A and B are shown apart, each in its own frame.
Chain A
Amino acid sequence: MKHKKYIVGSFILFYSVLYFSYPYAASSYQFESYLAPSRMHWLGTNSVGQDVVALLIEGTKWSLIVGFVVATASTLLSVVLGVWSGYFRKWDSLWNGLANVLLVLPNLLIILLVIAFTGGQYTMLLVLMSVLSWPAYMRIIRAQVMSLKEREFIQISRQLGNSHLYILTRHFPAHLKSLVQTKWIMTFRYAILTEAGLAFLGLGDPVKVTWGKLLHDGFSNPTIFLNGSWTWLVLPPVLLLAIVTVYISFIIEGKNVKRTKSSLRKEVHCTKEAGLRGEQITLHYGVSKPIFENVSLDVQRGEIVSITGPSGSGKTSLARAMYGILPVAYYEGHGQMDGEWTSHPKFASAHYFKTIAFMYQDARAAFNPLLPLRQQFEELGVTQDEMNEALKEVQLYETIANRYPHECSGGMLSRVLVALTFVWRPHYVICDEVTSALDPILKKEIIFLLQKKAKQLNCGVLMITHDHDVAHAISDRTLQMTKENRDD
C-alpha cells in the first residue's frame, strides 16, 4: 500500500509544478504548426500551432475532473439510495425499478441521444454519466445493507436503544468501506474512458481540452502519420490514458490479492508411533504469550480420550492442530497420525473423511441446506447400500435420506451426522463439543451411539467437551487443560 501513496503523490507534485511553471498556455496559437519536440517545445506543436505539453496539462486537468466528479457523485448516489432502500425499505420498489430500467438500457445510447439534442457540454456529460452509473452498485450495496441489518449485533444495538442514524453512521461504514472504494475506483475509470471515447468520436465538449479531444484533433489530420508528428500528438494522450486506467486496475486487484506469507516450517522427524498424536504442541496464535506450551497427547485406536477445560484454554485449537487444519503459523510442534505428519498437504487428500473424521458441534450447520441428505452422502462417494446401512445403524429409516436438512429435527440431524462421520469406517474421530447444544435426552442418545460405533469399528475417539460428567463417564483418559498454560 505504501508505494501506491508515493506514486500518486509524486504524480500530483510533478503535475502541479508543471501546471504552475510551464511557460506556454493551451489557448495560445502563436507557434508554427507541426514543430518537432525541441528544448523550447518539449513535445512540439500541433496543426494549429499550440504547444502540446500545455495542451496535455490542460487535458489532464479536465479528464481527471471528469473522473473525480462522476466517481464521487455516482458513488454518493449508490450509497444513499442503496442504504435508503435497503435499510429503511422506503420507496424500495421505486429505486429498484429505476435501477433496473437504467441497467437494461444501454448507457452509451442514452448518452448519444442526449448529446444529439443538447450539444454535449462538459457539465451535461458529467451529470449524465453520474446519473447513469449508480444502479449496479446501488443494488449490491442494498443487498449488503439488507443482510447487515438482520445481523445479530445490529439487532442488539437496536435493543440497546440506539437510533437508526447511530447504527448507520457507526456500524455500517466499516462493512461497506470496501464496496464503496471499489465502486469509486471503477466509476473513475469508466468516466475517464467514456469521456475519452466520446471526445475521440467528436461528440465531446468542443471547447474543453481533454485526452479524448487531443486524440480527436490529432487523428483529424491524416498527415500526422506522414510527417511523424503522431509520436508527439497521439502517443502522449494514449499513454496517459493507458497508464491511468491500468494503474487503477492494479489498485482494484491489489485490494483482493492479499499476499499471505507461506511460513514453511522445517520438517520434523516423525516418530513412527501408532495413534493420533499431538507432539510438543505450543499454541501461540502469533502473539508472544502462548495459550499453552508443550502439550503432548495421543489417542490409540479403540480408546476414548477427552479434553476438558475452561473456554479459551485452547481445547479446540489443540484438536485442530492434531488434525492438521490449524494454520501452522499459529503453533509449534506437530500433529501426526500413525507416523504421518497431519499438516502435510498430502495428508488431507489421503486421510480426511476416510481414516480420520472431524465432527463439529452444530449438526444443522454441518449440512448443506439446499441439498437432500442423500446427495450429501453421495458427495463423499458413499454408495446407496453403505448409506442405508449407516442410517440403519443410527436407527433411522432409509427414507430420511430424501429429506432436506430443514425437514429433519435436531435429533435426526445429529444422528445423521454420526452416520456420516462413521460411514467411511474412520480409524480416528475428533468430536468438538458435539453434545453441548443438545437437550439431555438427545445428548445421552448421541453419546451412546458414539460409544457403540467406536467400539464396533475399533476407532479412537478424541472428545472435546466441557461436560466433566460425560468425560469421566465414557472416556479412558482425560486431559484437563487449565488457564495457567499447563496441563495436568
Chain B
Amino acid sequence: MIEMKNVYQQYGNDVVLHDIHCRVTKGKVTALIGESGSGKSTIAELLVSLRSPTSGKIERHTSSIQYIYQNPERSFNPYWTMWASMEEALRGLKYPKKQWQAEIVPVLQQLELPKDTWHALPHECSGGQKQRFAIARALLQRPDVLIADEMTSALDPENEKKIIQYLKQIYESRSMAILYITHRFQELSSFIDDVYVLKEGRIVEYGMYERVMSQPKHSYTKKLIEASTYFERKRK
C-alpha cells in the first residue's frame, strides 16, 4: 500500500533517518519498534505526508490514510463536543446526514465509550477515553491505511486488549493496512504480522514478527526483547 525507498530525513545537520526501506502492506499489521527518539514518529509523519523526506521516494497506492496521534489531548477542538468531532469524520464521505447516527453509534459502543461522554467536551473526558474517540474518528473514515503512533499506550491493558481485538476484526473484514508504532509489542504479539526494529534512525532488523522474536539477529533487538519481558518474568 505504501512503500518507502531509500529515504533520508535531516533536521538541520542531524540526520534522523538513514536509508529507510519499509513497506506497509494491505491486510497486515506492521509494527515499528525501537527506542525513544529513534525516528519512529518521523517515519509515520513521512507516510501521511505531514513532512516530505530530504531524499528518497515514498510510493502511495491509496490516498485514504488516517493518522492517530500519540497525544489525544491536542487531537480535539476544545470547543466541540466529542459527537461533533465524530460527525466531522463523516462529513467528507457521501453519507446522508440521517445515516450519521447509525454509523457513529456502533463504533463508539464497540470501543466501550460510556454514553455520557458522547456529548461531553474534550476536557470532561479522561485521556484514555479521548484516545478511544480518536481511534473511533479514524475508523469512521474507513481508511485503507491506519497509522497509529503509540495508539494504546495511554490505555490500561484490559482496554488495550479489547480495542486491539476490535481493530483486528475490522481490519480483517476491510483488509486494511495498519502501521503500529509501539513500545508494548509483547502485549500485542497476537496482532502483529511484520516488525521493523529501529535504532538511531536505522532499521537494524526486520521480518516476520515470530521470527524476529524467536531468533533475533541484532544485539539491540535481543536487548529490547529481554527488557520488554523483564517485569513479566519477575512477577512470575
Contacts and interface: CB of A to CB of B under 8 A. Distances in A.
Mutual binders A and B: yes
Interface of A: 151-153, 155-157, 159-162, 166, 171, 174-175, 308-312, 409-411, 436-444, 447, 466-470, 472-474
A474 B230 CA distance: 12
Residue among B88, B91, B227 with the highest chain A CB neighbour number at 10 A: B88
B126 A312 contact: yes
Given A152-B74, A469-B231, A473-B234, A166 B91 contact: yes
A160 B91 contact: yes
Given A436-B154, A441-B35, A472-B235, A311 B129 contact: yes
B98 to A, nearest CB: 20
Given A311-B155, A437-B153, A473-B235, 15 more contacts: A151-B74, A152-B71, A161-B141, A162-B88, A166-B91, A310-B158, A311-B127, A312-B126, A410-B37, A437-B183, A440-B183, A442-B35, A443-B227, A469-B231, A470-B231
3 shortest A-B CB distances, which residue pairs?
A311-B128, A161-B92, A312-B126
Contacts of B125: 312
Contacts of A309: 156
A161 B142 CA distance: 13
Nearest to B72: A152
B141 A441 contact: no
Interface of B: 33-37, 48, 50, 65-67, 69, 71, 74-77, 79, 85, 88-89, 91-92, 125-129, 131, 137, 141, 150, 153-159, 183, 223-224, 227-228, 230-232, 234-235
A441 B227 contact: yes
Given A310-B159, A466-B157, A439 B183 contact: yes
B12 to A, nearest CB: 11
Contact of A310 (B48, B69, B141, B156): B156
B108 to A, nearest CB: 14
20 contacts: A156-B75, A159-B66, A160-B141, A162-B88, A174-B77, A310-B156, A312-B129, A410-B37, A411-B36, A437-B36, A439-B33, A439-B224, A440-B230, A441-B35, A441-B224, A443-B227, A466-B155, A467-B157, A468-B157, A473-B234
A442 B228 CA distance: 10
A409 B159 CA distance: 30
Contacts of A157: 88
Nearest to A153: B77
By secondary structure, the B interface counts as mixed
A438 B183 contact: yes
Contacts of A468: 157, 235
Contacts of B127: 311
Contacts of B66: 159
Contacts of B50: 155
B67 A159 contact: yes
A468 B186 CA distance: 14
A437 B66 CA distance: 22
Contact of A162 (B91, B156, B232): B91
Contacts of A447: 231
Nearest to A160: B89
A161 B90 CA distance: 10
B224 A409 contact: no
Contacts of A474: 231
B36 A444 contact: no
Contacts of B34: 439
A305 B117 CA distance: 31
Q: Which of B35, B36, B75, B125 has the largest number of chain A CB atoms within 10 A?
A: B36
Contact of B36 (A162, A171, A442, A470): A442
Contacts of A159: 48, 65-67
A160 B36 contact: no
A155 B65 CA distance: 13
Contacts of A166: 91
A235 B203 CA distance: 81
B91 to A, nearest CB: 6
A66 B185 CA distance: 67
B36 to A, nearest CB: 4
A410 B85 CA distance: 32
A351 B149 CA distance: 38
B182 to A, nearest CB: 10
Nearest to A152: B74
A473 B127 CA distance: 25
Contacts of B67: 156, 159
A473 B36 contact: no
A411 B38 CA distance: 11
Contacts of B153: 436-437
A334 B150 CA distance: 35
Contacts of B183: 437-440, 443
B15 to A, nearest CB: 15
Contacts of B126: 311-312
A410 B74 CA distance: 21
Contacts of A310: 128, 155-156, 158-159
Contacts of A438: 36, 183
B156 A411 contact: no
A166 B90 CA distance: 13
A312 to B, nearest CB: 4
Nearest to B155: A311
Nearest to A448: B230
